[in-house]
Amino acid sequence: MADPLSVLRDFHLAKKDIIQRDDLIIFDTIAFKKTAKTNYLVYGHEEDAQEKEYYTLECLVFFLKHAETLSHPLYVRKATAENMTVVKRPDRQDLLKYLTGEIDTTKRIDRRAPIELHDVSFKRVAEEESRPATRRPRVENERTLNQREKIVAKFDARKDERITVNPENKASLAQAMDAEKLAALKAQYLNKKRNRIRADDDVTANRDLAALADSESDGLKEILARERVCRTRNDVTRGPKDLTARLQPIFAMLKAKEEGKKTDIKNVSVKPSFPAAKTSSVPTQYSRYDQEQFNKETVTDFGINTSSSYRAAKIEPAKATDSATDAVDAQRKSRVSRTPIIVVPSAPTSMITMYNCKDILEGNVFVDSETKKKSGTKYESEMLIQRKKADGSVVPIRVMDNPVGKLKGEDWDRVVAVFVHGPAWQFKDWPWNANIVDILDKIKGFHIKYEEMPLDKNVGSWNVQVVPLSRTKRHLDRASFLKLWENLDKFVLKSKHQLRW
């Protein structure tokens, strides 16, 4: 079943008329109430929230009618004057692009929202009266049955083709013509009449068959005209998030695992690692506690002696000799963590330290380090934060302030960002020969400062993104930090796609 938002978009792209009558909005053969809710979320309401608010169909029709011609302030003024719900400015750009066909979907569309049912109680009286009679659906049952009976009677009944002749005319013709001429005229007349009747019957039968076919096909056309495609198989499987960066490592791992199995199975060698049990020298009667005498080299696969008991010789632990087990152990040893790492300055004068990094990176709000110290926050050399993304997923990130000595060679590839303070000694003993240009080319650099503070000379010459903050307006912090995360997302997907992000 089609939802109101998709129907509105399809009709706008097809440039079809959208009719508003009473409390209904009519799309050809489908009508929704003006208060019907679409599945487009209002700004400020997230998809995983318990209480959600959606734009109504009447609001979006009014927005689509005036958004392309009026600026947002003029549109808000006009909507307020007509007592209409206003589309908020953050939703304006994406909503307009979606309705005009520039994009296929947006993150603000809630696919799990309940779909409003269309109203089927209305009747389009004016259009039904103006429609030609030949195009109306013929659903009269009695009329259709009469046409069927008439066609069957014409094809099945045998017509009496005998001709009656007036005796007076017969007498006059007999006097004027001989018998041969009369017979010839009679045969010619019967032939013409027979052909004329067949032609008339064929025309009438074809006309009745066409009327009967129209009566049945018009009903089918009316049903097909009311159909609306809600979602196809491709639409359901298509999501707003690109998973290429996450799927490629999985495919590579599976491919390597399959190749390893193919090469290792041929080289598997099974060697029994248990010593053969000694047979008893004195054959005695059967005893459940003396089974060694019945040993007959019953050593199975993997070196397991099924006839041994606790009274046998000392059993040594089995040693894995096959190459498949060695390959698995080597793979486990070489497994590298995919948790990303962010480095913050260790200087106490930096605006971001280990005291307030959790508030900045998790809560997207700036809290001064001195305030955190006075509140009793303890210093930690490293911590694990949980970053919640826009799609609802949570990404663990490791944060530290002194990576030298803690990170090994392969761990440096997991460092995705570094917050610079200004002095060059911050990068002392770092890899890549401590070359700041090479470091900031492989790791995304950020610098946080107040708006009125001058920019450090070293920071101005480095490849870092400056994040300016207001000293008093804390409600503006979220926008600045969201822009920081957006740039970091692009960098990780481009250069660090092997990480869990």
Tell me what the mean pLDDT of segment 45-51 comes to: 77
Q: Supply the DSSP string of 297-338, one letter for each residue.
A: --B-GGG-BTT--TTSSPPPPP---SHHHHHHHHHHHT----
The predicted pLDDT at position 416 comes to 94
- The values of phi and psi at residue 67, to 5°, are -70, -35
Burial of 22 (0-12, 13-18, 19+ CB in 10 A): exposed
Q: pLDDT at residue 281 above 70? A: no
What pLDDT digit, counting tens, does each position of 60-99 carry? 999 988 888 889 999 999 999 999 999 999 999 998 898 8
Instruction: Report whether 40 contacts 87 (CB < 8 A).
Output: no
Rounded CA-CA distance 495/491 in Å is 6
Q: Supply the DSSP string of 324-393, one letter for each residue.
A: HHHHHHHHHHT------EEE----TTSSS-TTTHHHHHTT-----HHHHHHTTPPP-SEEEEEEEPTTS-
Q: Could you tell me which residues come within 8 angstroms of residue 491 by beta carbon, excluding any fewer than 6 positions away?
A: 416, 417, 444
Q: Does 191 or 464 have the greater pLDDT score?
A: 464
Q: Which amino acid is at 234?
A: N
Tell me what the mean pLDDT of segment 319-324 comes to: 53
Q: Does 147 or 427 have the greater pLDDT score?
A: 427
Nearest to 453 by CA among 474, 465, 470: 470
Helix residue ranges per DSSP H, 14-160: 57-66, 72-81, 89-99, 125-130, 141-156
Domains of the chain: 4-130 (no CATH), 143-226 (no CATH), 245-333 (no CATH), 341-495 (3.40.50.11990)
Rounded CA-CA distance 14/30 in Å is 15
The whole-angstrom distance between residue 255's C-alpha and the CA centroid of its chain comes to 26
Rounded CA-CA distance 6/399 in Å is 44
> 122 pLDDT band (50/70/90 cuts)?
low
What are the strands, taking DSSP E only, across 2-114? 19-21, 24-27, 30-33, 37-41, 54-56
Instruction: Report whether 395 contacts 401 (CB < 8 A).
Output: no
Helix axes 4-13, 89-99, angle to 10 degrees: 60
Nearest to 290 by CA among 277, 274, 300: 277
What's the Cα-to-Cα distance from 334 to each of 147, 337, 403, rounded to whole Å?
83, 10, 21
Q: Supply the DSSP string of 179-193, one letter for each residue.
A: HHHHHHHHHHHHHHH
% of the chain with per-residue pLDDT over 70? 69
Q: What angle do CA 182, 186, 191 make, to 5 degrees?
A: 150
> 277 pLDDT band (50/70/90 cuts)?
very low
> 43 pLDDT band (50/70/90 cuts)?
confident
Among the listed ranges 172-176, 262-266, 363-367, 398-402, which one has the minimum average pLDDT value? 262-266
Q: pLDDT at residue 104 above 60? A: yes
**How many other CB atoms are found less than 10 A from the CB of residue 174?**
11
What pLDDT digit, counting tens, does each position of 12-33 carry? 888 888 888 888 898 888 888 8
% of the chain with per-residue pLDDT over 90? 27
Q: pLDDT at residue 282 above 60? A: no
Q: pLDDT at residue 387 above 80? A: yes
Strands 382-388 and 394-400: antiparallel
Q: pLDDT at residue 113 above 50? A: yes
pTM equals: 0.37
What pLDDT digit, counting tens, does each position of 451-479 carry? 999 999 999 999 999 999 999 999 999 99
Instruction: Report whether 279 contacts 292 (CB < 8 A).
Output: yes
- The values of phi and psi at residue 234, to 5°, are -70, -35
Rounded CA-CA distance 205/213 in Å is 12
Tell me what the mean pLDDT of segment 335-352 comes to: 89
Rounded CA-CA distance 248/254 in Å is 10
The predicted pLDDT at position 357 comes to 93
> 309 pLDDT band (50/70/90 cuts)?
low
